[in-house]
Every structure is written in structure tokens, then in C-alpha cells.
Amino acid sequence: MKVLTIIGTRPEAIKLAPVIWQLEKLGGAVRTINVLSSQHTDLLSPFVRYFNIRVDHDFQIMKADQTPEQVCSSIRTMLDPILSQEAPDLLLVQGDTTTALAGAMAGFHLHIPVGHVEAGLRSGNLNSPYPEESNRVLITRLATWHFAATSRNRDTLLSEGVPPERIFVTGNPVVDALQFTLKRATVSSLVDAILQSTGGMKRVVLTTHRRESFGGVMARNLSVLRGFVEHHEDVVLLFPVHPNPAVTRVANEILAGHRRIQLVQPLDYEDFIVLLSYAWLIVSDSGGLQEESPTLGKPLLILRENTERPEAVESGIARLVGGSPENLAALLEDAYGRGSWADRVGTIENPFGRGDSGEQIAQIIVNGFGAPQAEVSSGGVGRDE
């Protein structure tokens, strides 16, 4: 059996690596073919190396100022002949990127079954996040098999008419990748210097990079965060700054020059996870961090109007900020208060799985999609036996 996987961005590498590992463990039963679109290059390559993903084809399509339409067109142009040549039995895509959409379109047009990892996420607003929400909806219509992280995701797919026998609840392989990283991680000299300089402080780790956060939204959020640091002598803000100029410019304008705010270079995955493990609070507009925070047992403020991962909020691990800087300020103060919700997060069970999602997905594939459907119980992600 041939399984072709296409990866374009850092989150895709993180979440597909555990699936690829488990497929390759099956030996002669499955032949894996791994394709990089390199929709992102500088951010993707270190993760491909870190997770030891063998690369069979690399399109290297990244160019400055490309539109999503141009990215999609380039991927389709380069992927179609490879699919015709390799003739895989299954094409795996992950999440909601332009690479995932292009892969799903190519598989559909060439009558190759498409498996969608992390299926069923919805914010309910096609413009937020953009274009990811529309990509998810389109991929669902094109995919044959749907690997949903939670029972809520499964219910969403069922409500959209996906046949129940084509949906498998497996948890999210980001948990597998994170557990793998935590087992092997060491504190690098870079992270050690950050930790040494912030010892005894409440560390707030910030990430923000989504399109809908650009401009005035990001400027207002950063101003609130600077004010929070200024008003609390025991708080330090650590911001690994995304290399996008729309982020670096406003970060330097608003946050630079404060003795308890550190703007640091983008960190590799292991360094970033280690830093998060020492955080008091995480503030982010990232979708992935809504899954990683529960695994780390860290409270999270979500810098977005809505979330396609409401399980993080419902479990009590995260709070949704919305678009109001005043709301962000209030939630920061609420987290800081004695006996707040943030102090209880470490005892909450992870709603996104237990670290065996890659194995579940691989077994479902090799069994010809005849494995028992997985379900989520009140105790977390599990499988029918």
C-alpha cells in the first residue's frame, strides 16, 4: 500500500510526523511517500529535520508576497505529475493550509482517496481565521476519510453530511509529537539564558502571527501586554517574534526597550516547548497552542474572536479574549489574581488525546479503514475495544 503525505508548513510537519512514523513501523505493509510543498521554507525545514521526516519530493514554492491562489496553483502544477507517477492508494493532508487544500483538490481530481488529519474543525466564520476556515470546509467536501480529533469534530462532520463510517475519532497527533519532544528535550544555552534572566518571575509567553491579528488589532494587544508588565513587577513577557515584517515592525515599535520584555528570535520546536513548560501563562492566536497548552498543563488566553477548538475553553484550560483590548486586560488581571482559574489548569485532563493518535491513524489505514470507530468518553480520547 502506498501512502503519499504532503506537508507545507510547520504545524503540518509536527502533526503528520507521528502518523508517518507509525506507518513506517508497519514495514512492508505500507510504503510512505513524503512530499514537501515548502509553502514555508525557513520555518518548515528545521522541523522536517527534527522529526526525521524523509523527503522524497520538495517543490520549494515559497516566494515573497505570494497569494494563497498562487500557492495553490503552484502546488497543483507540481503535484499532479507526481501523483500520476506514484499512483498512491491514499493521499494524506493535515489541517487547513493552502497546501492541504491543494493536495485534497489534486487527489479528488485524480480519483485518489484523500485522508484528512484534524478533520471537522470549524469556527463558524469563513473570514476568521482566513483563509483557513474556508479551506477546512472545502477539504471536507473533497476528502474520503476523516480523522477527527474529538467527538465534537465528528458531530460537526456528521451535521455536514459526512457518512459516519468515514469518520474516525483519533485524538490529535500534536499530542504525540509534544510527548516525544518532552521526553528528549534538554535546556539549550539559549533557553537557559532566558530562564536564568527571568528566575522567580511570572513568565508570560506570547505568540501572535495570524493575518487577522495584523495591524491595529496586534498593536492594541501588544500595548495591553506592555501595560500589564509595567503594572506587575513580578511579570516578564517573552515573545519569540514571527519573522513576518507585519509582526516584527509592531513588536519593535511597542515592546522594545522594556527591561522585563524580551523579544527573542524564532525558536526551534524543542526550545519553544521547553520555554512553554516554564511559562506561567501563554497568550497566543495560534491554533496549535490551543492543543499544546492542555498537554503542558498551562493556562492560555486565545487572542481571537472565535475558536475552532472550543474544547480547550470548555475544559477550563483556556479563555477566549475576543477582539477587545479591554477584555484582554481584564483577563490578564483575572489570571493574575490569587486562586484564579489559571492556578487550576494543571489538574485538567487533556481533551485532545493521550499521545497515541499517530498509531490509531496508521492502524486504521493499514486495516483498510475497517477498524472500529473511535469515540471520546468523558475521560478523554479513547477507542472502542
pLDDT at 376 over 70: no
Backbone phi and psi for residue 43, each to the nearest 5 degrees, phi listed first: -80, -25
Residue from 132, 176, 291, 311 carrying the catalytic annotation: 132
Instruction: Write down the mean pLDDT value for the chain.
Output: 91
Q: Supply 35's cell numbers.
A: 512530499
Options 10, 12, 40, 96, the catalytic residue: 96
What is the per-residue pLDDT across 301-347, written as a single tens digit (0 to 9) for each? 999 988 999 999 999 999 999 888 999 999 999 999 999 999 999 89
Active site residue 209: yes
Q: How far apart are CA 258 and CA 347, in angstroms?
A: 34
201: left (phi over 0), alpha (psi -120 to 50) or beta: beta
Which of these is catalytic: 31, 57, 232, 242? Answer: 242
Q: Are 123 and 313 in contact (CB under 8 A)?
A: no
216 against 18, higher pLDDT: 18
Tell me the three state secondary structure of residue 120.
coil
354 is catalytic: no
Q: Which long-range contacts (CB under 8 A, 24 or more apart) does 42-47 make?
A: 42/243, 43/9, 43/10, 43/243, 43/266, 44/7, 44/8, 44/9, 44/10, 44/13, 46/268, 46/269, 47/10, 47/13, 47/14, 47/17, 47/269
Maximum mean pLDDT: which of 41-45, 181-185, 211-215:
181-185
Kindly report, residue by residue over 125-145, the tens digit of the pLDDT. 998 888 999 999 999 999 999
Whether the CB-CB separation of 372 and 383 falls below 8 Å is answered with: yes
Domains of the chain and CATH, by start: 2-173+355-383 (3.40.50.2000), 187-347 (3.40.50.2000)
Listed as own residue / partner, the contacts of 69-73 with beta carbons closer than 8 Å and 24 or more positions apart are 71/37, 71/39, 71/98, 71/99, 71/102, 72/98, 72/101, 72/102, 72/105
pLDDT score at 219? 93
Percent of residues, the chain, with pLDDT higher than 70:
95
Q: Is the pLDDT of residue 380 over 60?
A: no
Identify the pLDDT of residue 377. Answer: 33
- Cell match 495560534: residue? 286
Asked about 242 being catalytic, the answer comes back as: yes
Best-predicted range by mean pLDDT (36-40, 57-61, 331-335)? 331-335
Percent of the chain scoring above 90 in pLDDT: 78
Please list, in sequence order, all residues whose beta carbon lies within 8 angstroms of the beta carbon of residue 143, skipping any fewer than 6 positions away. Answer: 93, 104, 114, 115, 116, 119
Q: Residue 119 forms beta bridges with which residues? A: 148
Is residue 187 over pLDDT 90?
yes
Which pLDDT belongs to residue 150? 96
245 falls in which pLDDT band (50, 70, 90)?
confident
Q: Is the pLDDT reported for residue 266 higher than 70?
A: yes
Lowest-pLDDT range, 167-171, 197-201, 343-347?
343-347
What CA–CA distance (Å, rounded) separates 88 from 244?
A: 36
Q: Residues 6 or more apart from 310 whose CB is under 8 A from it?
A: 152
How confident is the model over 92-119, as a mean pLDDT? 97
Active site includes 96?
yes
Tell me the Cα Rg of the chain: 20
pLDDT for 97 equals 94
- The answer to whether residues 7 and 34 touch, using CB atoms and an 8 Å cutoff, is yes
Which region holds residue 159: left if phi is over 0, alpha if psi is between -120 and 50, else beta? alpha
pLDDT at position 323 is: 81
Question: One of 12, 118, 176, 212 is an active-site residue; which one?
Answer: 118
CA distance 148 to 117: 7
β-sheet bridge partners, residue 377: 380
pTM: 0.85
| Residue 327 in grid coordinates | 477584555
The three-point CA angle 254-260-261 to 5° equals 40
Q: Which of 211, 232, 258, 354 is catalytic?
A: 211
Catalytic residue flag (residue 230) = no
Run of H or E residues at 248: helix 245-255
Task: Please say if 146 is a catalytic residue.
Answer: no
Q: Is the peptide bond before 131 cis (omega within 30 degrees of 0)?
A: yes
How far apart are alpha carbons 374 and 351 in whole angstroms? Answer: 14
Q: Which of 209, 210, 226, 309 is catalytic?
A: 209
What pLDDT is attached to residue 65?
77
